[in-house]
Structure formats: C-alpha cells, structure tokens
Chains A and B, each alone.
Chain A
C-alpha cells in the first residue's frame, strides 16, 4: 500500500461536507415540487425532511449533544404520521376525482 492510499484511508471528512450534502438534498427536494403527480410531490417533501434530519445529526455530532438525535427521532415520528394522513387524503382525492395530476386538483369543492 503506497503512502497516498494510506493517507486517503485515514483522512477525515469535514462536517461541512455533510451539511453541504444536506443543503443539496433539500434544494433537490424543492426543485422536485414541480412534479405533476400528487404522490411524487409528497415524496419530495419526505426528501426535504430527510435532508433536514441529516443536518440535525451532523450538528448533534459536532456538539456531542444527544438532543439533536432525539429531535430527528421526533421528526421521523411526525413524518410517519404525516405520511399516513397524507396518503389517506390522496386516496380520498383519487376517489373523488380519479386523477393524481396536481393541475387537475385545483378546486377545494367538486
């Protein structure tokens, strides 16, 4: 094993890279909101929640603080509740309108 490989193996990752990854994932989630399918729009919201979770875990690691990780735990619980209710709403909307395209679901009342 040559010295550069050993150096590469032992190199540590700056925490800012994790935060950058989190920011990029969040931006991708925002860009994604232009999708035309109700379910895919909902998935992009999950992606944004995950991006924020990653930065929570990063800061928890930075400050050696357990509470940051516990906050991620709460976010996961809320996301699970949100997914259950949101998907139930999607099913109800699909029953009423027989479409999932967000362009065609633009009225509160039938």
Chain B
C-alpha cells in the first residue's frame, strides 16, 4: 500500500513539476505548483509527519499559492516567450545540473544504513513536535515571528502606491 501510494504521488509530483516547466502561461505554472505541493503533503504523511502535511497544505497550498495566483492575476501576466535560455545556460548550466544530479543520485543509492519508510515507529504527533518547539527551540520560534513581522512591514512599504514618489508622476496609472 505504501509503495503504491508513494509511486502514485511521486508520479503526480514529478508530472506537476515538469508541467510547471513546460507551461508558458504563469497561471498554469502556479496551478501545477499547487499540485506539486499537495502531493508532497501526502508524501509527508507517508513519512509520518502529520503536522507538516497539514501545514504544507495550509501554508504552501493555501497562503503562498493564493498570493502567487493573486499577483499573476493582478499584474495580468501574459504568455511568456518560449526560450531555451542563454547560451551559457545551455552549454554550462544544463550539463552541470545533470552531473550534480547524477552525483547526488549515486551517493544516495550507495548510502548504507538508510531504512525504509514504514510507519511502525509511529507518527510524529503534533504534541511531540510542539513540546520540542516550545521548550528547546523557543528562541528561534520567537525570532521567526519577528521575521514575519519585518516581512509584513517590508511588503507593505514596497507595495505601497506611489512609493518614494508623492506626486505619482512615474506611475503608469493609465494601465490599471
């Protein structure tokens, strides 16, 4: 059962990622990224991380991707021109990625002592997770909340209308 679920959802995940690469319209890419993230949530469940599976769906599939689709639609992003990248990307980049992937795959496949993904060891419950998070790792957690606050302030400051230009002269208001 585990094997079948893994194959199905890993296949959906890879298909979504490749579809992301082949689509030319950003909204299609955003929707296939949602597919990738949701199937990754199922894989997290198979690895016994139930809280992360829920957080993946809520934070990534929900919040972040809604933000992405919102921006794509707000900016009315059109179809991009199809390209194979610059010459350096073709000559150096793709072979380098292939070589790195091959090296990593070889290392992974020859690694000793990697177990199997069975759930006999039990699912990591939210209770286990939070007892470590709120006792040993309380300071990083609080620092993260400060980071989020700074990010909110930065986003508001950046996206404010007429930023650094009180008259709004450089704004392309006619395009709205």
Contact = CB atoms under 8 A, between A and B. Distances in A.
Interface of A: 8-21, 23-25, 27-32, 34-37, 39-40, 42-44, 46-47, 50, 53-54, 57-58, 60-62, 64, 66-67, 69-70, 72-74, 76-85, 87-92, 94-96, 98, 100-101
Contact of B2 (A12, A16, A32, A95): A12
Interface of A is mostly: helix
Interface of B: 1-4, 6, 10, 13-14, 17-18, 20-21, 26, 29-30, 33, 36-37, 40, 43-44, 46-49, 51-52, 55-56, 59-60, 63-64, 67-68, 71-72, 74-75, 77, 80-81, 83-86, 89, 93-94, 97-98, 100-101, 104-105, 108-109, 111, 114-118, 121, 124, 128-129, 132-133, 137, 140, 144, 147-148, 150-152, 154-156, 158-159, 163, 170-172, 175
A7 to B, nearest CB: 10
Given A15-B116, A57-B49, A80 B175 contact: no
Contact of B147 (A57, A73, A78, A91): A78
Interface of B is mostly: helix
B85 A91 contact: no
